[in-house]
Chains A and B, each alone.
Chain A
C-alpha cells in the first residue's frame, strides 16, 4: 500500500475506526499465528522436515513417570546424547490429567513434543492413530529386529502394516494387588508370606488386622475418590469371582450386570459395612491412599505393581519399615486367574515431531535388555522383558509380586487385533455416564444407591452405544459387528494367542 493511499483512506478516519484498525492490524499481526495455532486452522504436521527431521538439537519428550526420572536422565538420555553430538533431550514430566490437557492443547497449537506417552488421553491408541496423532517409526529404526519384535501386534502396535510403537512395559499385571504393611501384620499375628486364598479368608485376615495399631489404624484403605481406580478394582474383583472382563469373550456381551460383578460389589460393600475399610477412603485418591498407608494408617492397600517404586520416591521409610504382598483372593479360594490385554505402546513419535528419527531411536533404546534391567530396578510397571527382573536389583517383594503376576494374569483376546475396524467403533463410542467407577463410588458413599439397577442400566447403555457406533462405522463401509467381540476359540485360564 502506498503512502498516498494510506493518507487518502485516513482522510475520513475517526478515532473509533483508528482504534479498531490499530487493534486489528497490531493485534492480528502479533496474535494471529498464536490464535491460529489455538484454533487448529493449520494442519498439524505441516511444515515438519521431511524424512526423520532434524539431526541435531533438542529432542522433546513428555511422560508421567516421576519415579523413572533419574533412570531416564542417567541411563537413557545421557548415553543417547553422548552418542549423538549436538543432540540434547528436553524431558517434561507431568501427572496424568495435566498431561492429557497439555497434549490436547499442544496438538491443536502444533506444539507437541517429538515423543510422548498417552497419559491422560483415555481414547484408544487406534483412534489417535486414525486421527493422525503419530507417525510410523519403522522407517527410522529396525523395530521388527528388536528384542520386542515378536510381541508386535496389529491394531495395537502396527496399523495398516506400519509399526508406530513398541511395548516397553509388561501387561502381565493387575491393579488390585494387596500390598501389606508387614509391621502391622506381624503385630496382628497375620502372616504376610501366606496369601489368604478366599474372600472369606481375606476378610478374616482384615478383621485380625483391625486391632493391630489402635483406633487410628484400619485394616484396608482404598482410593475411593478416584472413579477410575474403583472401576479397575471392581473389574478385578469380578474376575476373581469368575468374570473374564468387562466384555465376556464367550458371548461378546457386556458383563457389568452379571453375577460376578454383583458378587464383587456386594463383597466390597460388606468390607465397608464391617468397618474394615479406612473411613476416610472416600476422600482419598490413589496417591492420598498410598500416603496414608505409608503413614501407617492402614495395613492393606490394593493397587498396581508400581506401588513400591512410588514408595521409594515419595515415602521410602515405608519400604524400610516393611512391605509385603499377597495374591488377590478369589471368591472360593481357587487360584486367581485375571485377564489383561497384551502390552500396548507406551511412547509414540508425534506426527508433529521435528526430530522423528532421533525420537524413534531414543524410544527403541527403552527395550534394550540392559535398560530393561535398569527399568526393573525402578520397580514401576514390570518391564516388557520380564525375565530381566530375576537378576535385577529390586526389592524382594517386588520380585515376588512379578512372580505372582506371572502365575495369576493371562492375556485376554483383543477384538481390534482380529479386526482393525473394531478400533473405529471404539473411537466412535461416546462416554456413558454414570460410568462403572461412579456407580461404585455412589454405592460406597450413598446408602440409598440402587447400584444393582445402575449396573444393569450401565450394561444396557454400553451395549446400545456400541451398537450405535457399529452402525455408524459400518455405514462408512467398514465390516464390523458385535460378533467381533465374541471369541469361540477362547479358553478360560489360558493366554489367548492373538
Chain B
C-alpha cells in the first residue's frame, strides 16, 4: 500500500476566506445572525413535510397493513396486499386501462399540439391570437366541470350523436361515455381536447427558439415545407419533445377528476383507470380497504418512477447523441 500523497504546504490552496470565517465562527452565533433564513424556509419545510413527504411515506407503510376503513388502525400483514393485488383482475384491468390511456392519449396530445403549434406559429395563419386563446380555454376550465358537460355532449341524445347520425356516420346514437366499448376512448378524447392548449403553448415556446435564418436558408436551398420541417425544424425540436412528452405522460397518469365525472370508471369497470381503482377501494367499497388501496398506489407510483427514469435515460441519450 503506498503512502498517501501529501502536498507541500506551500502548494496547498489557501482556504477560501468566507469558508474559513464560517469555520471559525461558532454555529450558534452564525445561527443568531442568519436565523431569518431558516424562518423563511420553515413554512416550506412544514408544508412539504406534511403534505408531500408524510403522505408518501405513510402510503408506503399503509401498503403493508390490513386496514378496513372503518377501523382506527390497521394490522401489519407484510406483503399480503401486494400478493392479493397481483391476483386481482380488476387491478390489472385498471392498470391496463391506465397504460392504454398513456400509450394512446400522450401521442395524440403531443402530436396534435405540435400540428396546431406549427399552424399557429405560421405568419400566414389569420387570427392566430384568437385561435390560440380558444384552444387554451379548456385548460383553465376545471376537469370535473368538463366531465359533467361532456356527459351530456356525448350521450345518445347529445349534439355529437345528432351530428353523426345526420351525417350518416352512425346508424343509431351511441352513448359514447356509457358504452363499454367506447367509454375509455371518450375519456381519452376529452382529456386530449382539454389539455391540447397547454402542450401547444410548450411547442410554440419551443418553436420560438429556432432561428428563422435556418428556415430561410433551407428555403434558399429549395427545401419544401415538409423538407424544412423534417430536416430543420424537427431535429431542433427533439430535446423539447422529450421534456414535453414527460410532462404529458405525468399528466396522463392524473386523470381522476375528468374520468370520475365523465364515466366514473364505468360502465362495468371499462374505463376504470388506476386512480379510480384506488379511490374506489379506499372509499367506496362495501368495506373500504386503506392498506389494499395504498398497495395499489405504491405499485402505481413505482410505474411512474419507472417512466420518469426511462425518460431521464432518453434525455441523456439524446444529449449524448447531439454532443457527438
Contacts and interface: CB of A to CB of B under 8 A. Distances in A.
A41 interface: yes
Interface string A96-133: 01001100100110000000000001110001100111
B98 interface: no
A147 interface: no
Given A31-B46, A433-B90, A283 B155 contact: yes
Given A11-B27, A43-B72, A446-B267, A279 B283 contact: no
Given A19-B41, A127-B70, A279-B156, A225 B46 contact: no
A34 interface: yes
Interface string A253-291: 000000000000000000000000011101101001000
Contacts of A442: 180, 267-268
Interface in A15-61: 18-19, 22-23, 26-27, 30-31, 34-35, 38-41, 43-44
A434 interface: yes
A40 B151 CA distance: 39
A10 interface: yes
B157 A225 contact: no
Contacts of A239: none
A121 B283 contact: no
B28 interface: yes
B46 A445 contact: no
Contacts of B157: 216, 278-280, 297
Contacts of B177: 283
Interface string A216-239: 100000001101000000000000
A396 interface: no
B46 A30 contact: yes
Interface in A54-97: 97
Nearest to A434: B268
B42 A26 contact: yes
Interface in B34-48: 38, 41-42, 45-46
A361 B287 CA distance: 31
Specify the main secondary structure of chain B where it touches its partner.
Answer: loop
B191 to A, nearest CB: 17
B229 interface: no
A430 interface: yes
Contact of B269 (A22, A121, A429, A434): A434
B50 A27 contact: yes
Nearest to A445: B267
A282 B154 CA distance: 11
A1 interface: no
Given A107-B72, A131-B71, A446-B180, A23 B268 contact: no
A133 B70 contact: yes
Contact of A27 (B45, B70, B73, B268): B45
B228 to A, nearest CB: 46
Contacts of B119: none
Contacts of B155: 279-280, 283
A356 interface: no
A225 B45 contact: no
Given A19-B38, A22-B42, A441-B268, A430 B58 contact: no
Given A40-B73, A283-B177, A438-B268, A26 B46 contact: yes
A63 to B, nearest CB: 19
27 contacts: A13-B27, A18-B27, A19-B45, A26-B45, A27-B49, A31-B49, A35-B50, A100-B283, A101-B283, A104-B70, A107-B72, A108-B72, A122-B287, A123-B286, A127-B287, A225-B267, A279-B155, A282-B175, A283-B177, A288-B151, A297-B157, A431-B285, A431-B286, A433-B90, A434-B268, A438-B266, A445-B178
Interface of A: 7, 10-11, 13, 18-19, 22-23, 26-27, 30-31, 34-35, 38-41, 43-44, 97, 100-101, 104, 107-108, 121-123, 127-128, 131-133, 216, 224-225, 227, 278-280, 282-283, 285, 288, 297, 427, 429-431, 433-434, 438-439, 441-442, 444-446, 449
Given A7-B28, A133-B70, A439-B268, 16 more contacts: A10-B28, A10-B31, A31-B46, A40-B73, A44-B72, A97-B283, A100-B283, A107-B72, A108-B72, A122-B287, A224-B267, A279-B157, A280-B175, A285-B264, A438-B268, A449-B268
